[in-house]
Amino acid sequence: MLMAVDVAIVGGGVIGCSVAHYLSATGARVAVVERTQIGRGASAANSGVISLATKKPGLALDLALVSQQMFPTLSAELGYDVEYLVDGGMIIAQSETQARFLDELVAAQRSDGAGIAMIDAAQAIALNPLLAGRVLSASHCPTDAQANPFRVTQGFARSAEKLGAAILHDTAVEAIDVSGGRVRSVHTSRGEIRTRWIVNAAGAHANEVGKMVGVEHDVVPRRGQLVILEATDDLPNIRVSSAGALLAKHQGSTQSINAAFAYTRKPLSGTVMLGGTNEFAGFDTATTKTGIGEICRLAVSAMPYLGQLHALRSWAGLRPYSPQGPQLGLTQGPAGYAVAIGHGGDGVALAPVTGRYVAEVIAADGKDADLKQYLAREKARLAANAGQRGVTA
């Protein structure tokens, strides 16, 4: 036997490492079992955007509201700088349909407590003067932010390790033992780990791990391609994306989107990240000429100045997409089986709240596991804290 723990976490992406950090802080004995290297999956392939404005009202926005409040103190909590920067974000409407969608979305987000407002085209261009394409209106969220996704993942992993967790890389989970209706151990490529709890945090591979305990998860890989432009001085930092892809996302579309416009400046390096595609292409992580070409074409049509910059890098990663969004804690399967899956394009933004919630569920031995009640409590606590500090949304 390799070891005995209280909780074995399958997957060492940003989600598994966050769960490991918060669980280890409760005193649990934890092992993170990662098939490749820590943070090598989707957690290495994303834009690192921490956005409220892109979230659908309801569960996704509530999770984001709680998680966003955890980011400003995350570097101090982990003892590791996650390079959290608040630059704000805008989502622009480039057609009448998108403008109507944004109006309704922002009204619903505001009534859920998010500090997001509609602005007109002139205000949008004043905030980001590189915008020169068709803009009818925009949503503006001044608290939208970004962090360095590599550092967020490593920060959680290092802190978990300091708190006593075992981080096992190059170790694949191959089977899970269940007896008497409860998980008992995981069989890995390096031996057996006895455990009372298993957390499935296997990203796009969540369904593969679910099948090991006889359950089906509706998580599938959704490929995203990104392009990095050369570093330059003095470009606006505020993020801009188009409402087009968001509209499809919120309508639960299972169609591939060849490309959508998103401009994210990385102020620490000076580079610009352009996104992205949303494609169902199995586990293929290749970039495509069509995807990269379309990303660049849309970016230049919305912000023509970007056409003067060289593209330096491009890559693709696999979002763990589920039509129902994130699934956290106890959902289905044997006793002792918990999940932290289905984060789609929001896993970095939602990593802190995911880790803390799943850790609390397991620390309470599965009692008190209602996510909606947990979020309602957390939102009320945040509102009370903001009230005490005299903060308004």
Ligand X SMILES: Cc1cc2nc3c(=O)[nH]c(=O)nc-3n(C[C@H](O)[C@H](O)[C@H](O)COP(=O)(O)OP(=O)(O)OC[C@H]3O[C@@H](n4cnc5c(N)ncnc54)[C@H](O)[C@@H]3O)c2cc1C
Residue numbers at the binding site for ligand X (CB under 6 A): 10-16, 33-36, 40-43, 45-49, 172-173, 201-205, 209, 224, 226, 276, 317-320, 343-349
On whether the CB atoms of residues 192 and 1 are closer than 8 A, the answer is: yes
Calculate Rg over the CA atoms of the chain.
21
- Nearer of residues 33 and 78 to ligand X, judged by Cβ: 33
CB of 19 to ligand X, least distance (A): 9
To the nearest whole angstrom, how small is the minimum distance from the Cβ of residue 138 to ligand X?
A: 18
Nearer to ligand X, 95 or 288 (CB): 288
Please state, in angstroms and rounded to a whole number, the distance separating the CA atoms of residues 254 and 282. Answer: 13
Between CA 232 and CA 267 the distance in angstroms is: 10
The distance of closest approach from Cβ of residue 120 to ligand X in the complex, given in angstroms and rounded to an integer, is 26
CB burial class (10 A; 0-12, 13-18, 19+) of residue 104?
Answer: exposed
Q: Kindly give the pairing relationship between strand 137-141 and strand 117-120.
A: antiparallel
Q: Which is nearer to ligand X, 107 or 175 (CB)?
A: 175
Alpha carbon distance 59, 55 (integer Å) = 9
Using DSSP, state whether 95 is helix, strand or coil: coil
The Cα–Cα gap between 237 and 266 comes to: 8
Measured over the CA atoms of residue 30, residue 347, residue 82 and residue 45, the dihedral's sign is positive
Q: How far apart are alpha carbons 295 and 384 in whole angstroms?
A: 43
Nearer to ligand X, 11 or 336 (CB): 11
Of 12 and 336, nearer to ligand X (C-beta) is 12
Cα–Cα distance measured from residue 372 to residue 58, given in angstroms and rounded to the nearest whole number: 9
134 or 211, CB closer to ligand X? 211
Q: How far is the CB of 189 from ligand X (least distance, A)?
A: 8
State the minimum distance, in angstroms, from the CB of residue 174 to ligand X: 7
Q: How far is the CB of 39 from ligand X (least distance, A)?
A: 7
Enclosing H/E stretch for 246: helix 243-250
